[in-house]
Amino acid sequence: MALFNSITKCQTMAEEKANLLSQDSETEDFSSGYDSPEYFSDQDTKRSCSNRLQIVPLSDKSDFSSAESIPFNDYSSEDDDIHNDNDIADSMKVTNVHTLIDNIRYILSMPDLCDVMFIVGPQRVPVYGLKAILSTRSRLFFVMFLKYSKEALKQKKKTKITKHIQPDQSNKLTITIDNYDVDVFRTFLLFVHCGTVEIEPSKVTGLLCLATEFDISDLRNSCWEFIDRCLSVQSFSTILMKETIFYGDHKAAQKLRIKILKLQQRHR
């Protein structure tokens, strides 16, 4: 009954204060310090106490003496724990690009796992690749593979296969690439498959021509950026000029040659 005991104490204090004020008023020579003494009735006392205390009606079954009563905000603590458990992510994203690149490099090093073979350069060196990746990276590769596949199909129809003639078990599409250096073309295919390449002054012109011909924009832009850096060094500009002569028929090589000549004229 803690709430009602608080009201009784307020009433007692109010009555004692009223008695003191009434006694002080009887002595004319002594002032209580109040200009107009105030007297509290029972109703005023209850009203004053009610302003300071918030009396909440409770049911008869409530336990007023419980010192371990749970605040209202704590009733939902158990529900909050359940809600937080439901918020835990039910999936996790894992990315391991390096493993994928290493696997593709390994496939390219195994001719039996590849389905396209390029015969590159005057030395006719075989360079292997994957048609699915090359076709998705370059539309020119896709058109090239489709064209050669149709020609190979027509050739098979014309050829009569007998019991004494064994069919080609390799099942590889073979394409001849004459006008590119073997190392440059291998580096280019590695970038198309894996997305990484190490550009050098001796290869940048060939990579630029290949990236332009097969429309690999990210590699083409990187080659031009590297060329702009090389042109600031005289020895590199000489190497680039020699490479443009080797790829003289290509539009990208001609554009690079003109750029080098203009730069040389400015420094004269």
Q: Can you tell me the mean pLDDT for 259-265?
A: 86
3-state class (DSSP) for residue 173: strand
Tokens of 118: 């390029």
User: Could you tell me if 111 and 174 lie in one domain?
Assistant: yes
Residue 23 lies inside a defined structural domain of this protein? no
User: Could you tell me if 220 and 176 lie in one domain?
Assistant: no
Sheet holding 173-177, edge to edge: 125-129, 116-120, 173-177
User: Could you tell me if 136 and 206 lie in one domain?
Assistant: no
Which pLDDT score is estimated for 65? 45
Residue 223 lies inside a defined structural domain of this protein? yes
Q: How far apart are CA 175 and CA 186, in angstroms?
A: 14
Residue 169, pLDDT above cutoff 50: no
* Residues forming a β-bridge with 176: 119
User: Could you tell me if 146 and 211 lie in one domain?
Assistant: no
**Checking DSSP bridges between strand 116-120 and strand 173-177, what pairing results, if any?**
parallel
Mean pLDDT: which of 96-100, 156-160, 217-221, 235-239 is highest? 217-221
Residue 39 lies inside a defined structural domain of this protein? no
Residue 118, pLDDT above cutoff 80: yes
Residue 137, pLDDT above cutoff 90: yes
CB neighbour burial string for 192-204, b if at least 16 within 10 angstroms, e if fewer: bbbeebebebebb
Residue 22 lies inside a defined structural domain of this protein? no
User: Could you tell me if 155 and 218 lie in one domain?
Assistant: no
User: Could you tell me if 108 and 174 lie in one domain?
Assistant: yes
3-state class (DSSP) for residue 172: coil
69: number of CA atoms within 13 Å, CB side?
8
User: Could you tell me if 210 and 268 lie in one domain?
Assistant: yes
Residue 260 lies inside a defined structural domain of this protein? yes
The answer to whether 131 and 192 have CB atoms below 8 angstroms apart is no
Which pLDDT score is estimated for 12? 56
User: By residue range, what is the domain housing residue 234?
Assistant: 198-268
Mean pLDDT of the chain: 75
User: Could you tell me if 204 and 263 lie in one domain?
Assistant: yes
What domain count does the chain have?
2
Nearby residues of 113 by Cβ (< 8 Å), 6 or more positions away? 107
User: Could you tell me if 146 and 212 lie in one domain?
Assistant: no
User: Could you tell me if 102 and 152 lie in one domain?
Assistant: yes
User: Could you tell me if 109 and 151 lie in one domain?
Assistant: yes
Residue 16 lies inside a defined structural domain of this protein? no
More confident residue, 64 or 127: 127
